[in-house]
Structures are given as structure tokens and as C-alpha cells.
């Protein structure tokens, strides 16, 4: 590549080298428009391993970043998202912060203010919005009125500092807000801890201002892995499989007692969602255009997740499911975590 071509590359770093951070480093190495300058983690052994795996450097301090990179992924524990993200934004870097974007709306707003004040790009890691199945259905939306969503996973000892609403369900809350594009007027939810002291399985029913209804189930204690969304709109049924990254459209060709149906497998690209997400971030850093999962979208998903959690707590208080838990959980409690907030812990998608 020419020197001119090299100069156009966005120089990036990854802050936090757990599972998410490692994958960010892997994909940045694959992107032609990005140059992976280095990785940072207070766990030096882990950062050294990731740096060696992807032929990059270990950054000894966040203070090295302003002179060496243009943008950074923040993949530290949720409790440190706002602290680290705001620090990098104040340094003049564009930032992609993993989901959920912050512990609460106060910290989410701090990130938004820092991005606006410094004229920086702020993207939130709602990777499922870049799933080829989701991208494929966006052009055919025709006022969908009913959604059924299941995001189920088997138990793994990761992301246990947050409830399943902030760990898994928040993906679907973000997607629903984007597809329906209307305010949520009612939230009813139930959730219980099964293997941890956090909510491990939850169900929520959302009603939107225009009448659309969504039922969402999220679990990290199931016996199988399921990632599916089904929705109905006039004379059509659409089924998405996030894991297979495909979508099926079923339409009514001939209604009546002996109906005829038309089946269409929607065209989907063969791309890893994380690859598409980080490509969008690099493109936004270069073009200065807002990414689709910008800070405002991340805040909206976090706000709705908080409403779901509040409904779960209200239900739990009535039936005494959560025992001694006195208040609504937030995505990562600093006291309960008992850890250095910059230290990296594994998360699940």
C-alpha cells in the first residue's frame, strides 16, 4: 500500500483485553482501514498475551494514547465504562464503549457530554444491530405489531457482575427500539436468580406508543443456546436467527380457508457482526458521521433496560422472589465487585 494509503488508516487501541477486548484486537488486525497500535490492561500478563497473539504492542499507560492513536475500544468492566470512556474522550479520541454503555443514566449522560464537548465519535457496542439478519429485515419493515424474542444461553462463569437484562436482553431492547422507532409506554417484567445472586432469567412485555407489543425472554441458565426473533406485520411473518445470521419472510399469497404462502429467504451478507461493527466505527472516525449505534441509542437501550429491571424489582417485592435484595441492581456494583475497576473480566454476548 502507498504511503498515502497508509496515512489514511485510523490508528486504534483496545483498552481491556478480556474476551471482548481480545476479539476487538483480532478484528482490528483484519480491517484494512485500521492500524492496531496497541492494547492496554492493568492485567499485564493478559495484555502481553493478546499483544503477542495479534502482533501489536502493550501500552503501559492510557496517557500514551493521545499521541499514538485516533480511536479506542473500551472493553473494561461496566463499572469503569464511564470513567475510562470520558477520560479518552477528553483526550480527544473517538471511543467505542461496550454495552451496556454505563452503570446508570447519570454516567451515560457524562459520556454523551464528553463526546459532544470534545467533538468526538461515541459508539456503543450493540453488536447485534450489525447482524446480517437484522440488516436484512430493515428494508422490509411495514409497521410490525407483534414481536416474540428469545435469547437463551447455557451457564458460564462470565458477566456475573450484571443481571441478564444488562448482559443479554439489552441487545434485543436496542434492536426493538430501532425497528419500531416509537416510545415504549408500558413495561411488565419478571425475573429471578437461579445460579447467582443476580437475575439469571427474565421475561419482559413491552408495549409501544403505536400499539406494537414485544415479548422478550433472556436467560443464561438454559439447556440450549437460542438466539431468535419473530415478528408479524400485515400479511407477513418474519423469522430471524441471530446465530445463523439469516432471516425468512413468509407472506400470504392467497388468504381464505385454504391459504397459500410465499416463502422467501432474505439476502444476507456473509460478515461477522463484530467485523461490521468495528468497520462502522472506523468509518465514522474517518467520515465524522454518527454511527448507527451512537451514544443516544446506547442511552435509550440502557434507559429501557432500567425500566425492565425496575418492573422486575416491583414484581419481586410482591412475591418475595429476590429475598434480601433491597434495591434494583445496576450493571456492575462497585462495592460488590470488589475489584480494580480497570481490571478486565470476561463477558458474554
Q: Residue 92's CB: how many other CB atoms inside 10 A? A: 12
Least confident of 45-49, 143-147, 180-184, 220-224: 220-224
Higher pLDDT, 37 or 349: 37
Specify the pLDDT at position 257.
83
Q: Give the per-residue SS3 of 312-338.
A: HHHHHHHHCCCCCCCCCCCCCCHHHHC
CA 214 to chain centre: 19
For residue 46, give Cα distances in angstroms to 69, 224, 254. Answer: 21, 30, 60
Single out the residue of 28, 25, 64 nearest to residue 46, CA to CA.
25
CA pair distance 192, 163, nearest whole angstrom: 10
pTM given for the model: 0.89
Q: How far is it, in rounded angstroms, from Cα 292 to Cα 86?
A: 20
In 3D space, the residue among 132, 344, 155 whose CA is nearest the CA of residue 241 turns out to be: 132
Q: Between 4 and 26, where is the model more confident? A: 26
DSSP structure class, residue 247: E
Q: What percent of the chain has pLDDT over 70?
A: 88
DSSP assigned state of 267: P
Q: Identify which has the larger pLDDT, 337 or 286.
A: 286
Question: What is the spatial distance between Cα 148 and Cα 242, in angstroms, rounded to a whole number?
Answer: 13
Give the DSSP letter of residue 18.
Answer: S
Residue 324 makes CB contacts below 8 A (sequence gap 6+) with: none
Q: Are strands 34-40 and 10-15 parallel, antiparallel or unpaired?
A: parallel
Task: Evaluate if residue 313 carries a pLDDT over 90.
Answer: yes
CA-nearest of 85, 122, 113, 53 to 280 is: 122
pLDDT value of position 322: 53
All structural domains of the chain, each given as residue ranges with its CATH number in brackets, are: 3-127+274-293 (3.40.50.720), 129-268+301-332 (3.30.360.10)
The mean pLDDT of the chain is 90
Give the H or E element holding residue 284. Answer: helix 273-287
Nearest one of 119, 97, 115 to 24, comparing CA atoms: 97
Amino acid at each position: 500500500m502507498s504511503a498515502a494509503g497508509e496515512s489514511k488508516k485510523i490508528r486504534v487501541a483496545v483498552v481491556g483485553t478480556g474476551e471482548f477486548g481480545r476479539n476487538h484486537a483480532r478484528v482490528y488486525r483484519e480491517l484494512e482501514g485500521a492500524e492496531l497500535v496497541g492494547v492496554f490492561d492493568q492485567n499485564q500478563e493478559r495484555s502481553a498475551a493478546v499483544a503477542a497473539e495479534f502482533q501489536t504492542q502493550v501500552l503501559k499507560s492510557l496517557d500514551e494514547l493521545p499521541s499514538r492513536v485516533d480511536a479506542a475500544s473500551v472493553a473494561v468492566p461496566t463499572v469503569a465504562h464511564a470513567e475510562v470512556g470520558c477520560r479518552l474522550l477528553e483526550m480527544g479520541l473517538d471511543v467505542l464503549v461496550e454495552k451496556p454503555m454505563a452503570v446508570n443514566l447519570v454516567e451515560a449522560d457524562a459520556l454523551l457530554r464528553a463526546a459532544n464537548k470534545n467533538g468526538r465519535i461515541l459508539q456503543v457496542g450493540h453488536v447485534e444491530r450489525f447482524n446480517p439478519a437484522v440488516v436484512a429485515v430493515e428494508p422490509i419493515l411495514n409497521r410490525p405489531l407483534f414481536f416474540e424474542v428469545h435469547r437463551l444461553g447455557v451457564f458460564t462463569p462470565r458477566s456475573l457482575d450484571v443481571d441478564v437484562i444488562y448482559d443479554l436482553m439489552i441487545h434485543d431492547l436496542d434492536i426493538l427500539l430501532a425497528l419500531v422507532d416509537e416510545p415504549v409506554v408500558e413495561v411488565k417484567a419478571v425475573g429471578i436468580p437461579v445460579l447467582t445472586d443476580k437475575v439469571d432469567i427474565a421475561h419482559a412485555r413491552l408495549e409501544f406508543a403505536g400499539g406494537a407489543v414485544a415479548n422478550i425472554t433472556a436467560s443464561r441458565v438454559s439447556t440450549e443456546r437460542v438466539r431468535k426473533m419473530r415478528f408479524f406485520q400485515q400479511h407477513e411473518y418474519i423469522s430471524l436467527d441471530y446465530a445463523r445470521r439469516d432471516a425468512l419472510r413468509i407472506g400470504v399469497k392467497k388468504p381464505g380457508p385454504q391459504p397459500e404462502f410465499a416463502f422467501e429467504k432474505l439476502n444476507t451478507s456473509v460478515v461477522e457482526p463484530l467485523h461490521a461493527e468495528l468497520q462502522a466505527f472506523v468509518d465514522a472516525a474517518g467520515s465524522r458521521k454518527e454511527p448507527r449505534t451512537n451514544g443516544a441509542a446506547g442511552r435509550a437501550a440502557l434507559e429501557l433496560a432500567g425500566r425492565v429491571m425496575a418492573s422486575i424489582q416491583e414484581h419481586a417485592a410482591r412475591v418475595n422472589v429476590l429475598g434480601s435484595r433491597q434495591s434494583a441492581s445496576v450493571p456492575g456494583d462497585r462495592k460488590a465487585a470488589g475489584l480494580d475497576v480497570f481490571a478486565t473480566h470476561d463477558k458474554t454476548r
